[in-house]
Structures are given as C-alpha cells and as structure tokens.
Structure 1
Amino acid sequence: MEFTGFPVAALDFYDDLEMENTKAFWEAHKQVYLESVRRPIEALAAALAPQFGAAKIFRPHRDVRFRADKTPYKTHQGMFVAVAPRTGWYFEISPRGTRVGAGFYEASGPRLAAVRAAIDDDKSGKALARLVRRYEKDGWEIGGDQLKTAPRGYTVDHPRIELLRHKQLFVGRPYGFEADALGADLVERVRTDWEALRPLLTWLTTQPKPEE
C-alpha cells in the first residue's frame, strides 16, 4: 500500500468530530475515517517501518472509565514506534494538521530515577543538554510534564534543573497545513525529522541505568 497523503476530508472529519463527539456521528461517518484517516496512516506506517520499525496505530476510542470527560472518541489519530517502554517516535494528525515528535512519554519510578541520575551525571547530562539546546535552536519544541520545583534529592540551583524537573521529555514540531504536511511528500519529511530525533532516543535508551 503506497502512501499518497491525507485528503482534506481527514481534517474535516476531525473538525466535525470536535463539534459532535457522539456515537451517532461516528457511525454515520465511520467510512470517512477508514478511507481518509486509517488507511493513509497505515500506509505511512508501512513506508517508515523499514527504517524505524513497526508502528502502533492508536485506537480511535477514548478510555473514559476513570475520566470526568466522557466523550467517546479521540479528536486526533496518532501512531507510535517504540524503542523502549513508552519511548519512541510519534506522529499525529488532528484538526490542526500534522505533527511529529520523539521522547519518553511516561516513566515508572525506577525508570524516571535512572533518567534523572543520567541527567545529574556531568558527562551524560551535559550531552543531553547539548542535544536539547540544538533542537531548540533548530526550531523544535521541548515538551513534557514537569515538576514546579526540584525533584527530591536535587537542589533548585542544579545546572540542569530544568531537565531534572521533567516527568516526561519529548521533542516535537507541528507541520500544520504546509505543502508537505499532508501530501505524498509527508513521508519524506517525517523520515527526515524522525532521523534527526534518533540521537535523543539513543540517549534515552543507553544513558539511564536503572538500579539492579
């Protein structure tokens, strides 16, 4: 299956879903989702798989069991290529267009402690700080939930306190509706940007050393 891009109908579908997030709307427009969103993202995943690995394409239904917001469907479609638990490359299409990113999106206590220990270490921590500065200089956005103060065991004047505060850390950028954000050229843009993010994932999978 060759990737030929996302049709405008994909954006229209999510625009409308944001306005009417109901089972009735979904059932009436399910074929639009399958043809304009699901099939193109499966083709995109297949095109990227030889270089990055198989992607998980997220289900469209929300898990509302423990949420106050009971709207049943996600208003975006994402896919994720894992290189470690909850760590890897990400792609998304939504009413705001497309975007890419990479990083770790959730960490257990021991995993997060290992990441912070690697940030604290002068050699590995400075290497990550250099990476992050380079991404920022190149126009990437640095994201992820952060503590408002220093994590336990670290001081607020630590030279890498901003990185230590992260409970998640990901680097990404929106493509929006640019010429190569939706069409057939999108696959090359994602491929280039995911490759640019590989050093971040290499750091995240080699530098943190969980305690035995």
Structure 2
Amino acid sequence: MPRLFTGWPVQALDVLHKLDGVPTTQVREHNRRDRERLVRAPMVALLSDLADADARYADFSVWHFAKDPFWWQHQGAVVRMARNVEIGLRFDLDGLHVKGAWHYPDPGQVRQFRSAVAEDDSGAELVEILAALPERFEVSGDVMKRGPREYPPDHPRADLLRYRSLVATRPVHPEEAVHSAAAVDQVLEVARELDALLGWLARHVVIPAPRPPR
C-alpha cells in the first residue's frame, strides 16, 4: 500500500517560525490554513501510515490548535496503546520527538505501578527494560521528593517507587528524515524500541475493567 506521508515540507518550518514567541490572535488566524495544510495534515498522514504498518497503532488522535499559542507552535499526536499508556509525537522547530508514556494516571494506577515495581520479578524486569533503552532516550516523569511510606526507604528500587508517571522520549534521527517518507520508518523504529516498556506498563499499570454481573 502506498504511503500517504511524504514529509513535512520546509515551508512548515516557515509557518512555525511565524507562530514563534507570543503570536497575536491575528497572526494565528492569518496562518491557520497554512498551518493546517503544512503542519497538521502531514502528521495525520504519518499516523495513518503507522496504523497501516501495524494495527496496534490504529487508535490515534492528532491535536488541533486550541486557544493556547503552545498548541499552534507544537503539533502533537498520540497513539493509545492502553488506558493512559501512549506513544506521543510532537513536531515543532526542534524536529520530531517520539515518546512512550504512562501519565495522567487514573485513581489506583499509581498503586498498581508501585506494587509491580516492588515485586521482585516485575520490578527487576522494568529495571532491565529501562537499562536497555538506547542512550538517546530521556527518561522522566512525575517524581515524588520522597518514597511512598508503605515501602522501606532502602528498597532496591526505591528511586522507581517515587514515580507517579513514566515517560521515555527521544528525537527522530536523522533530523532530515522529517522532510521525507523516511520519517515513517524512523518512528516505527522508535516504537519498536519502546515496545518492551509500553508492554510492561500495559500489563502492570492498567486496571482491568470489572466484569459485568452474570
């Protein structure tokens, strides 16, 4: 199947330069059509190609502009892998970044995460997964200053127990790939690198829906 995504044209960067800083409403509206055509539409095409390449990536959304200038300056999109477990994409003047994320947790998900981190088998598995990520990834999240009180401060994974969200991000390389269809393969490569982490999160953090009564 031929791919829809042919790359972000260099004119997309011109549009984003015009929206840099604190653009007025007039500036934003003047560039709305060009931004839709040159910035947002290629992201839609890229996500469609990802879904065609792997059915797991079929549940995606590409953000609109909203009122905040940030959303005009950064084109975001997500691929939903499980409840609050996502692949996120962001295209802006710094290029294309891809992340694997568990964030904005539902009530109980943080407890699920900590329980899995504390358990020897699943906790050690997560440590190995994070250690195996290529160096280009930056791992971050919402981290408490102190560990949760229900676990001893000398727990072997005390640092991980402080996390209330977990995000691994890296840029797409080479940077020039964003201007060609090659970006699809580059994003698929990043998704493969994130597969073990996202799979762990989907297994251990997502709370199963209650069974309907018989």
Tell me if both proteins adopt one fold, taking TM over 0.5 as the criterion: yes
Task: Please point out which of 63, 69, 76 is paired with 2:74.
Answer: 76
Residue 111 (structure 2) aligns with: 113
**Residue number in structure 2 paired with 1:86:** 84
SS of 1:157's equivalent?
coil
- 8 A contact 1:45–1:54 mirrored in 2: no
SS in 2 for 1:80: strand
Separation in 1, partners of 2:192, 2:76? 18
The aligned amino acid for 2:74 is H
Question: Residue 89 of structure 1: SS of its match in structure 2?
Answer: strand
Superposition deviation, residue 72 in structure 1: 7.3
- The 1-side partners of 2:136 and 2:8 are apart by 25
Q: Tell me the amino acid that sits aligned with residue 64 of structure 2.
A: R
Secondary structure at the aligned position of 2:12 is classed as helix
Q: How does 1:119-198 map to 2 (within 5 A)?
A: 119-135=117-133, 137-175=134-172, 178-198=175-195
Report what 2:4 is aligned to. 2
User: Percent sequence identity over matched residues?
Assistant: 28
Task: Give distance in 1, aligned partners of 2:205 and 2:156.
Answer: 18
Which residue does the alignment assign to 1:43?
45
Which stretches in structure 1 are left out of the alignment for 5+ residues? 63-69
Deviation readout 1:27-48 (Å, 9 max, x if unpaired): 1011110111111011001100
- C-alpha contact 2:8 2:180 (8 A) present in aligned 1: yes
- Structure 2 gaps, min length 5: none
Deviation at 1:88, TM superposition (A): 1.4
| Root-mean-square deviation over aligned CA pairs | 2.1
Compared CA separation, residues 209 and 46, structure 1 to 2 (3 A): closer
| 2:56 is aligned with 1:59 | no
3-state SS, counterpart of residue 176 of structure 2:
coil
Change (3 A) 1:20 1:176: farther
**CA–CA distance in structure 2, aligned partners of residues 72 and 170 of structure 1:** 20
Return the offset for 1:207.
Answer: 2.3
Q: Distance in 1 between matches of 2:125 and 2:167?
A: 16
Residues 98 and 177 in structure 1, CA contact (< 8 A), matched pair in contact too: no
In structure 2, the residue corresponding to 1:191 is in which secondary structure?
helix
Does the CA-based 8 Å contact 2:82-2:206 persist in structure 1?
A: no
Cα distance between partner residues in 1 of 2:184 and 2:48: 10
Displacement after TM superposition at 1:71 (Å): 4.8
Instruction: Give distance in 2, aligned partners of 1:125 and 1:208.
Output: 12
Please give the alpha-carbon distance, in whole angstroms, between the structure 2 residues aligned to 1:189 and 1:72.
25
Aligned-partner SS, 1:142: strand
Under a length normalisation based on structure 2, what TM-score does the superposition of the two structures give?
Answer: 0.86
Q: 1:72 to 1:89 in 2, by over 3 A?
A: closer
Encode CA deviations 1:42-93: one digit per residue, 9 max, x unaligned.
100110013122311112114xxxxxxx657442011101122221111110
Larger CA deviation: 123-132 vs 167-176? 167-176
